[in-house]
Structure 1
Amino acid sequence: MEQRNSWRRLNGMMVQTPIREEVRQVLLTAQEQGHTMKVCIGTDSQVKGRCTKFATVIVFIRKGKGGFMYLRKEEIYRKMSIKERMLDEVARTVDTAYQLTDLFTAFNVDMEVHADINTNPAFKSNDALKEAMGYIMGMGFSFRMKPDAFASSSCANKVVQ
């Protein structure tokens, strides 16, 4: 059972329109203001008992002018292996990217998928690396893994609690 599936801004303000419309408005405004944009999408998770909390972020970077993000938190109440959880994070990220990719293409905005999976085989999350890379590449997305995946490793990590 998943809960709290609404997008909001980092300041806590809930997004009142569907996220596609919100993103379209952001891109229109950026275009009107002459900003060059880049978007990074990532998800992180945290386990507390039987509850796994997920946070997905859409990070907008205005080149040379700072950035901002939107986030969505979700909770699942069931036990998951580390590999299953890592692949669930990637699936949530890819799903969000897929819903918005035509907007990024229309506005000529670079977009990256960020996966919170360690490339070092000494870490347990590395077990999901090959499957995650195959899934992301199969969807045609540009991607980053740790330590370069700041949208998931830093941004989503800060808000997942």
Structure 2
Amino acid sequence: MQFISPTKGPMDFDAMFAEIIAYVREVPEATYRVIVGTDSQLREETSFVTAVIVHRVGKGARYFYSREREVFGRSLRQRIFYEAARSLDVAGQLAARLAANGHADFDIEIHLDIGRHGETKNLIREVVGMVTGSGFDARIKPDSFGASKVADKYTK
């Protein structure tokens, strides 16, 4: 999976992870949140964007994103579950790398592009259960800015 840093350009997972660790080492005493969120946009093709955000609580953040395009269509339900699966895949890789590098204490949040209003409200229990059952914290709208703001910005 290829990631893009808005300031440093394209990079692979290893380079992205190195950037995350470098950011944490700048201010090691700070509190950090690691957030993964995916959003999609359906047009002639579907664009899926997964964002990885390292939030230095109260002092800014860095983010990276990966984009994938599909020409075949999925139903809304399939797209939401695929978004969650993409986020879980990246979060799993991050969790393993963080643990191997002495940062097992970092909690990873999965931000889901679903909420209590609109077409996705009936999917909340299932998708949140999928995420929490995988060992990650789940956030939904309006608290899921990783998906609904950061990833959404790059789906268009």
Per the normalisation by structure 1, the TM-score is: 0.85
In the aligned structure 1, how far is the partner of 2:40 from the partner of 2:148? 10
After superposition, residues 3-152 of structure 1 pair within 5 angstroms as 5-11=1-7, 13-15=9-11, 18-31=12-25, 33-34=27-28, 35-49=30-44, 51-105=45-99, 106-107=102-103, 108-120=105-117, 123-152=118-147
Structure 1 residues 104-144: Cα deviation after superposition (integer angstroms, max 9, x where no partner) = 34312222010001123xx1122322221121011010110
Matched position secondary structure for 1:153: helix
Which runs of at least 4 in structure 1 moved beyond 6 Å after TM superposition?
none
Matched position secondary structure for 2:69: strand
Answer whether contact 2:38 2:51 (CA < 8 A) is retained: yes
Answer whether contact 2:84 2:112 (CA < 8 A) is retained: yes
- The CA RMSD over aligned residues, in Å, is 1.8
Q: How many residues align?
A: 152
Q: Which sections of structure 2, spanning at least 5 residues, go unmatched?
A: none
Percent identity reads 28
In the aligned structure 1, how far is the partner of 2:23 from the partner of 2:149? 26
In the aligned structure 1, how far is the partner of 2:67 from the partner of 2:134? 24
Instruction: Name the CA shift for 1:53/1:138 in 2 (closer, same or farther; >3 Å).
Output: same
